[in-house]
Amino acid sequence: MGRMKETLWNTAIPPQTSVEAIEQYMENYRDAQRASVDDTLEQRGNRYGDYRNVAGLSQELKAVMQRSENWYKLEPFMQESLHMMANKLARILSGDPYYDDSWHDIAGYATLVVKQLDKK
């Protein structure tokens, strides 16, 4: 077993690869991930509006739904679909209302509920 580990080490990772080189590789990877996430967040912000506004409106919509008379009569899949729709509605109301993907997502969550109801 010791010989196998030694052979794998010698062939899989070149002997000249130092701990410092691996740490530098990982740091470069983390920097690239951060840049990628920042790019994504900027794109989403441009499309959906300010995240704080979207989050606040989404939470308000959810609170209104949860105060309704029938909220606790709904099954979890119904509640979850409504929560997801609230987020999509908040994005529409805070960002680009002509972005059809948001409308498509709402239709998708409604369709998921209908499919569950059809199984009963």
Burial of 27 (0-12, 13-18, 19+ CB in 10 A): exposed
Tell me the domain boundaries of the chain. Answer: 1-48, 50-120
Residue 19 has a pLDDT of: 75
Give the pair of three-digit tokens for residue 29.
Answer: 């990877």
**pTM beyond cutoff 0.85:** no
The pLDDT of residue 116 is 96
